[in-house]
Chains A and B, each alone.
Chain A
């Protein structure tokens, strides 16, 4: 009973917050454009980002089978490299010159490459350790 009441109270609080958000969006005077951008964000995710991520997942080896032991490491490396790439993209793709030399002062293609290479090296080492550990375990005489 208490849980049900808490849920209703939470729901009401959430709807109130959303109503405040809608009023604030309306108050900006740009409601039409904001709605278009929100719809665009939804389409960008559901139509492009999610299928891309699912497609990458589909290429992974299955949880059982030959690739099993390195599957976790490979998927982890893809997630980390993907996240680093997504975070680097605005700096990599931003058109036009920055407002001054202290805005975007770094060599971002290099930074992205270094970070992704570090992930590759780390994941390679981890996968190597795992494969060796498995081989070592298999070589041990079995205890019954």
Chain B
């Protein structure tokens, strides 16, 4: 930009006081490279978040069409959701560090368009920091906010995803100008910064690797030994499996011999625990995968839900309402779609890893279904209602 002759509109300038040492790599090439990684992490978080939301709160027309396979589907998507969210923490801080001097451009607002652009960046930063922070606090079950986490995290996720797409559209000329090492914009930057930038990016890559390795063992169980910082650890919990809601928290006490499973439908019936045990038992290996990201595969033994429904005269395409002994809670009563109810892997489980279910894992009977969030694997089941 020419600075020799006075111009009526002065070019934007940064505050001159930032030392060169600080501002060396605050350039568009660094922003582009870090932005690519962060963009990938945000895209994976958003996509897997949508999957989780649809599985937990499907619209009624979709409920009977949700796929119950692959069995490990939710384990993968929700494990990725939390792992990408954790990996996004160093990436987000690095991206924002790179563009931080732009916060101090002078004049702060040059035009309406510039003002709107800055507003969208403010939304981007606020929603990005909020999503990572709220996610990290939620997985340690720390809720310092007054609002419910799930709907707010979901809503702000849309705000963030939209702001990212808008940001990409606005910044596209700069992004494409610095996309590769040989792009015209990258070549215009001081060549001496190249090795320094690569060292910075290597450090950032190492940070992503380190936070992933020390936490991902909570879902990738073979890496459990490296799990130093995750909120859960495979093997910690009753019967070697973590628990989210204990029987005590749910207000459930041990059942007596008078416990009955009620199955309603065209031919309703009741079963005692002994009668349930006498029915054909099936054994399945399925993961218990929590929305908080942890997951563990276990061996479950019990009666196929589709057999129980068929005995009640249910249509093979029927859905089922599952009622728990819990006193209260958002998941005391859940609706299970037809694809899940008909899946031969979906059990009313009585045993876990060869032992009777413990009370905290849902004694006397609990649901276990493939490709399903943990909150829908209803514990302490007392009624199955054919719909």
Contacts and interface: CB of A to CB of B under 8 A. Distances in A.
A79 B156 contact: no
Contacts of B276: none
A123 B120 CA distance: 39
Contact of B210 (A17, A80, A102): A80
A72 interface: yes
Interface string A32-48: 01100111011011100
Interface in A82-107: 82-84, 86-88, 90-91, 94-95, 98-106
Prevailing SS type, chain B contact patch: helix
Interface in B112-159: 120, 122-123, 125-127, 129-130, 133-134, 136-137, 139-142, 145-148, 151-152, 154-159
B93 A53 contact: yes
Chain B CB within 10 Å, residue with most, of A71, A84, A88: A84
B125 A46 contact: yes
Most chain B CB atoms below 10 A, which of A10, A87, A88: A87
B129 A42 contact: yes
A15 B19 CA distance: 36
A134 to B, nearest CB: 14
Contact of A99 (B162, B199, B227, B246): B246
A44 B129 CA distance: 9
A80 B100 CA distance: 20
Nearest to B100: A50
A105 B202 contact: no
A90 B125 CA distance: 20
Given A34-B152, A105-B232, A100 B246 contact: yes
A103 B141 contact: yes
B140 A104 contact: yes
Q: Is the interface of A mostly helix, strand, loop or mixed?
A: helix
B169 A10 contact: yes
A128 interface: no
B263 interface: no
A37 B164 CA distance: 19
Interface stretch (B8-16, B235-243, B368-376): B235-243
A26 B237 CA distance: 38
A42 B125 contact: yes
A25 B166 contact: no
B199 A71 contact: yes
Contacts of A101: 236-237
B86 interface: yes
B198 to A, nearest CB: 8
B203 interface: yes
A125 to B, nearest CB: 13
A24 interface: yes
Interface in A1-46: 3, 6-11, 13-22, 24-25, 27-28, 30, 33-34, 37-39, 41-42, 44-46
Contact of B155 (A8, A28, A60, A75): A28
A14 B96 contact: no
B145 A33 contact: yes
Contacts of A57: 21-22, 97
B231 A91 contact: yes
A38 B229 contact: no
13 contacts: A11-B170, A21-B160, A28-B152, A34-B152, A38-B130, A42-B122, A42-B129, A46-B103, A50-B100, A83-B93, A83-B211, A99-B246, A100-B237
Given A20-B158, A25-B159, A100-B237, 20 more contacts: A6-B169, A14-B162, A18-B123, A37-B130, A37-B145, A38-B130, A39-B126, A45-B96, A54-B97, A83-B207, A87-B214, A91-B140, A94-B142, A99-B245, A99-B249, A103-B242, A106-B236, A111-B228, A115-B214, A115-B229
